[in-house]
Structure 1
Amino acid sequence: MTASPSRLRTLRDYIRWAVSQFHGAHLFFGHGTDNAWDEARQLVLGALHLPWEMSDSYLDCRLEDDECEQLQTLLRRRIEERVPTAYLLGEAWFCGLPFIVDERVLIPRSPIAELIEQRFRPWLPKDPARILDLCTGSGCIGIACAYEFLDAEVVLADLSFDALEVANCNIEQHGLEERVYTVQSDGFDGLPGQRFDLIISNPPYVDAEDFADMPEEYYHEPALGLACGDDGLDLVRRMLAEAADHLTEHGTLIVEVGNSQAHVEALYPEVEFTWLEFAKGGHGVFLLAAKQCREHQALFRERMQRC
């Protein structure tokens, strides 16, 4: 993949050329954009530390030779190695906030962002005092919640020490050290006796069939954050069995399971999950009130042991 620097000299040149190359290489777009133009614009502008919303009149600015070489290198990696743009830039956006990301964590893309921006209306009985972001990865969900609920204490929990290193960098970047902190935890194991008004989780939930069929871009992400057993529910079953012990009396549990929604419904036909809808796209996110978690805890435990 080469292009003559004498012919590609402006931002517009590189974006247009990248779009053509992306289409020709049949790249997959699923880590923040859904089309070649937005992906090319994100990569070209982001690599040069230019804002996404900059006026198109600046796209005709000519680039220096070193800037052209930098873009050539990044575009080559995006096309030939299928590295997602967020990893190439070291940054992703979630709820309008920037987050440090690398291949130790998943790239933020959860539809839960829409719930956070709406302050979870109308689902929360009151503003939560304690929030748990379970399987936090980069910490984006919990940190975004900390921006919406200014008096809340937020715990970011994950099994991966590598992921928690990234989450701690993001806590520091956003200046939230006084009320957001990390805990190493396999499910709820590292949180004995702790209760929360709101537990949110985007856990690994990809079933074996979907994991085998994923586009190449996804294999740059940590498998620990994606795959979780034949039906994708190995961790979700544990979470459901233990959630009642970690919610306050009127607490709320929100969990994303994506395409594994069908497995959840098949495994627990007796449970009236609230499946949330999203105006901006997304699916497979359920809500349970603490009362429901208590009522069905014996069932959840039985199904976990059976599997």
Structure 2
Amino acid sequence: MNTFEQAVEAAEKHLLKANLFYGHGMGDAYDEAVYAALYCAKLPVDEDIDWEAQYPSAAFLKLSELINARCQTKKPLAYLTREAYLHGYKFYVDERVIVPRSFIGELVLDGFAPWVNPDKVTDVLELCTGSGCLAIMAADTFHNAHIDAIDIDNAALEVAQLNVKDYNLSERISLIKSDLYQAIAHQAKQYDIIFSNPPYVNSESMSNLPSEYLAEPHIALAGGQDGMDLVRTIVNQAAPLLKPNGILVVEIGNEYAHANAAFKQLPLVWLDTSGADNAVFLLTRADLERL
């Protein structure tokens, strides 16, 4: 029988032999091996590992099968385990949604400080919700708020519904099928915060994506020639839906140059995150009214 350390070493060795990409919550082969070993042994991901403890034979067999599937399919590990973690939150995922990852997540958990007072936020809109992960985190942060979470894809909304139900937030999060603002454009309701992690990968980058990203829904990644197709609509149509002191926060990942070019007439405020200082921008309603 193997020790836990030996099980992880065997999994890591196997992963390293494959041409894999690690960009879905795991930094490298070692991280994936540790997570996979914990998952197969049915242990919490934050478990303090006893490296010399015996690793169960049944779990080792399951681990071998999981790692083989990861190497052969080159799918993100989250699709094989049907779970993903983001900032300590656990979510159900499958191929209907992208694997939760976001620069904007930590900003949500920080209540978008100092731009809003979390206690006074009552209405929040998320566009392109996918698995619903950020909407759930927003509901957890803004205790007095109702969250409207929009996605154009029925399949993604089905996954989001599973996660919203799992967190017992069905009364505080409304999942809405819409092409961005279309379903709500003529409502009287306005929001304290509109935020989005939309599809923003430019066409050149899309043509060079690793297999792991190609396993994800194309609709959730592709942002057009410069990555800004949906972002332009999000920015250009936001003002009427924001309260007078409302803010718009948009993640654009690696598309800093394209965002600056697309919105050179606007005073984009770039928000610092632990992953980057030029991946998320903020605009106030007053800024947007300049359009």
Superimposed CA distance per residue, residues 244-301 of structure 1 (whole angstroms, 9 cap, x where no aligned partner): 12111111100011122211111222211001111344642110001111122xxxxx
Residues 1:288 and 2:291 aligned together = no
Q: CA deviation at 1:11?
A: 3.0
Q: Deviation at 1:125? A: 5.0
Are the aligned partners of 1:164 and 1:184 in contact in 2 as well (CA < 8 Å)? yes
Choose from 135, 154, 158 the match for 2:128: 135
Shift of 1:62: 3.0
SS class of match (1:250): strand
Give the corresponding residue for 1:261: 256
Number of matched residues? 288
Q: Is structure 2 residue 79 aligned with structure 1 residue 84? A: no
Q: Deviations over 1:147-170 (max 9, x none)?
A: 111111011100000000011111
Match of 1:94 among 86, 99, 102: 86
- Picking from 43, 52, 67, the partner of 1:50 is 43
1:117 positional shift: 2.3
Contiguous gaps of at least 5 residues in structure 2: none
The equivalent of 1:31 in structure 2 is 24
Which protein has the bigger helix share? 1
Partner Cα separation in structure 2 for residue 33 and residue 108 of structure 1:
11
Mapped contact 1:111–1:283 kept (Cα < 8 A) = no
- Following the alignment from structure 1 to structure 2, what is the Cα–Cα distance between the partners of residues 261 and 184? 29
* TM-score, reference length from structure 1: 0.89
The answer to whether the Cα contact below 8 Å between 1:125 and 1:250 also exists between their aligned partners in 2 is no
Percent same amino acid at aligned positions? 36
Q: Distance in 2 between matches of 1:87 and 1:282?
A: 29
Report the Cα distance in structure 1 between the residues aligned to 2:220 and 2:69, rounded to whole angstroms.
23
Counterparts of 2:287 and 2:107, CA distance in 1: 20
What is the TM-score of this pair, normalised by structure 2? 0.94
Q: Distance in 1 between matches of 2:162 and 2:30?
A: 30
Q: CA RMSD in A?
A: 1.6
Structure 1 segment 117-196 matched on structure 2, within 5 A:
117-125=109-117, 127-192=120-185, 193=187, 194-196=189-191
Three-state SS of the structure 2 residue aligned to 1:116 is helix
CA distance in 2, matches of 1:119, 1:268: 25
Q: Of the candidates 74, 99, 103, which is equivalent to residue 66 of structure 2?
A: 74
Name 2:56's counterpart in structure 1: 63
Tell me the CA shift for residue 188 of structure 1: 0.4
Q: What one-letter code is carried by the residue in structure 2 that aligns with 1:107?
A: V
- 1:111 and 2:103 aligned: yes
Q: How does 1:237-256 map to 2 (within 5 A)?
A: 237-256=232-251
CA 266–281 in structure 1, closer or farther in 2 if over 3 Å, else same: closer
| Partners of 2:11 and 2:63 within 8 A in 1 | no
- Alpha-carbon contact 1:160-1:184 (below 8 Å) kept: yes
Question: Cα gap change, 1:283/1:100 in structure 2, threshold over 3 Å: closer, same or farther?
Answer: farther
Contiguous gaps of at least 5 residues in structure 1: 1-7, 297-307
CA distance in 2, matches of 1:270, 1:136: 28
The alpha-carbon deviation at position 130 of structure 1 amounts to: 0.6
